[in-house]
Chains A and B, each alone.
Chain A
Amino acid sequence: MSLITRKFKEIRKNRLAYFLILPATLCLAIVLFYPLFKVFYMSFFEIEPLYYKEPIFAGIKNFQKILSDSRFKGTLLQTAYWTFGSVALQFIIGLAAALIINEVFWGRGLARALLLVPWAMPAVVGAFSWKWMWHGEYGVVNHILKTLHLIPHNINWLGGISTAMAACIITNTWRGFPFMMIMLLAGLQNIPKELYDASSIDGASVGQELRYITLPLLKPVILVTTLLAGIWTFNNFAYIYILTGGGPGGKTDILVTFIYKQGFRFFHFGYAAALSVALFFMILAFSLLYIKIMRLESPFS
């Protein structure tokens, strides 16, 4: 029996298996893979519905435009600031929360439930609540900071060039830290208590325990959760769009809002497609890294 007929027989034998995955695969093919193919194709055309009726072949012109676009460079830097800033803060606060909750004390379940509120409420509602809290005149953030005498006057947080991105990052940190906390808490509870007993006999300080026991043993969980949080933040269109719309003056634009604007505000569809291709390769790099780490040190096995 030749190889081909053997493979064919194998496929026939498992036809139920293929039949069962067919609907799901079809959905992915129509809504994910065909558009993905199309976006690559579109990126080689000038598609300007305001000026020309038909797309015009442009070769690599759109990609050259990306390289020379100073706003793109600015956006890329802002995306990095947004992603790393959010994930770093989410991690620090999530770890602190997990460590505190892990210390046994009264009311632990309630504390954990309350800390999960940002994650449990609809994402969009969280963003709107914060937009209202950052309000320049009637915002509760200004009110609290003035009561504590930390600022003399009201600050227009989301409208100021120097404060807008920081405000967005704080908002996104609020949204994302509960996920970190839950994952790290699960990791902490897997660390054998004997290790801490041994280290306290040896006279280790709290800081040394954190440095030499807790963090090294949490490393697999930390890697996976920070990478996931990074991908989510990198792609978080809704928060930026709702909070600032990318403003003031594009100072809070991140890659995904920049693409949206190029396409649906300025109608440069070809250029937006080329930007999407660039985005695709960045996400691919992220994903491959993620899969590699998952395989190397799966914390869930």
Chain B
Amino acid sequence: MAPVRRLVIKCILLTLLVILILWAVLPFFWMVSTSFKTTEETYTVPLVWIPRYPTIKNFLYVVKRAPFLTYFRNSVVVAVSTTVIAIILASLAGYSFSRFKFLGGHSLLLIFLITQMFPGALLIIPLFQIIKALKLLNTLYALVLSYITFSLPLCTWLMKGFFDQIPQELEEAAMIDGCSRVSAMVRVIFPLALPGVMAASIFSFIGAWDEFIFALIFTSTDKARTLPVGLQRFITSYEIYWNHLGAASVLTTIPVVILFLFIQRHMVKGLTAGSVKG
């Protein structure tokens, strides 16, 4: 190919890439920009890209006046308990699937794979009735229980994959040295699977942090509402202040970003420092 033609193609590709990137980041940029605007500036034509009179009033309003902090606390409690319990259950199940050949194990594993496809929407009708009968409507228990279940299949698969990479000889050696199977599992294998735990935790945490449909159906008071449904409350009230919603959205995003940064560093460390490389 002629060098000029090659250069032209490269320029076209670069332009395309820049447009694509602008499109990808525009919504987040726009939300952040709105969150620092006064109400007047939010509703100005023509639009203002970067707030001329930046203010943190929206954030103060959201934190002080709106029940945002309750939503936030609920979200943290639900996401953390979901993650911790789901990871424990998934590690036990994943270990079992990885190390034992047992009757019905293979079909059970397949069932775990299929349930990953089940959407929450499929079960809202019966689950609502069950949760209501258990008198768990408007409680965080209902959310935690359902989120655990929906994150278990994927987490179990991930953990099984990580355990598969750890050589069986390690726990055999521990057992020869006098460990029981259970203590070999807890003391030798689980610490080695820590990077896997981190990966599965991200999925589980973000799944719970983002979940919408169960949170919508199981909660009808602010007492048990989580952030995704709480954000919706800014819209269904009589007036929508998009700058307030913007501030709430930014605050909702921050924990996820922190988690990503923290875990990314942790994961790299875990992979390089571990005695077994994946």
Cα separation A253 to B235 with both chains bound (whole Å): 19
B217 and A31 contacting across the interface, CB-CB below 8 Å: no
A132 interface neighbour in B31, B95, B101, Cβ under 8 Å: B31
**Cβ-defined contact, A34 with B23, below 8 A:** no
**B125 contact from A100, A242, A276, Cβ within 8 A:** A276
The answer to whether the Cβ of A283 comes within 8 Å of any Cβ in the partner chain is yes
Cβ-closest chain B residue relative to A206: B9
Which of A122, A132, A286 sits near B209, CB closer than 8 Å? A122
CA distance A282 to B206 in the complex (A): 27
Q: Quick one: which of A114, A264, A272, A286 contacts B117, CB cutoff 8 A?
A: A286
Establish whether residues B27 and A130, one from each chain, have CB atoms under 8 Å apart when the complex forms.
Answer: yes
CB <8 Å contact, A14 and B242: no
User: Please, how many angstroms separate the alpha-carbon atoms of A273 and B124 in the complex?
Assistant: 9
A287 touches B117 (CB 8 A): yes
Interface check A115, CB cutoff 8 A: yes
* Main secondary structure on A side of the interface with B: helix
Contact A27 B89 (CB under 8 A): yes
Within 8 A of B (CB), among A16-38: 16-18, 20-21, 23-25, 27-28, 30-32, 34-36, 38
- In the complex the two chains form, is B256's CB within 8 Å of A178's CB? no
Candidates B23, B45, B93, B115; contact of A21 at CB < 8 Å: B93
The interface-forming segment of A69-77, A188-196, A214-222, A231-239 is A231-239
**Chain B residue total in the interface (Cβ 8 A):** 87
Contact, CB under 8 Å: B103 / A10: yes
Cβ of A186 within 8 Å of any chain B Cβ, yes or no, is no
Chain A interface residue count, CB cutoff 8 Å, equals 79
CB of B197 within 8 Å of the partner chain: no
**Which B81-115 residues sit within 8 Å CB-CB of chain A?**
89-90, 92-93, 95-97, 99-103, 105, 108, 110-115
| Contact yes or no, B125 A118, CB < 8 A | no
A125–B213 contact, CB under 8 A? no
**Which of chain A's residues have a CB closer than 8 A to the CB of B42?**
138
**When A125-B252, A128-B31, A132-B34 are in contact, do A237 and B245 touch as well, CB less than 8 Å?**
no
A31-B148, A121-B253, A133-B30 are known contacts; what are 14 more A-B pairs with Cβ within 8 Å? A23-B92, A24-B156, A31-B127, A38-B126, A42-B125, A114-B21, A128-B245, A138-B43, A237-B212, A237-B213, A256-B213, A264-B128, A273-B126, A291-B113
Interface residues of A (CB under 8 A from B): 7, 10-11, 14, 16-18, 20-21, 23-25, 27-28, 30-32, 34-36, 38-39, 42, 93, 96-97, 100-101, 103, 105, 111, 114-115, 117-118, 120-126, 128-133, 135, 137-138, 140, 143, 174, 178, 231, 234-235, 237-238, 241-242, 256, 259-260, 263-264, 269, 272-273, 276, 279-280, 283-284, 286-287, 290-291
Residues of chain B touching chain A, judged by Cβ–Cβ distance below 8 Å, are 10, 13-14, 16-17, 20-21, 23-28, 30-31, 34, 42-47, 89-90, 92-93, 95-97, 99-103, 105, 108, 110-115, 117-130, 145-146, 148-150, 152-153, 156, 181-182, 206, 209-210, 212-213, 216-217, 227-228, 231-232, 235, 242, 245-246, 249, 252-253, 256-257, 260
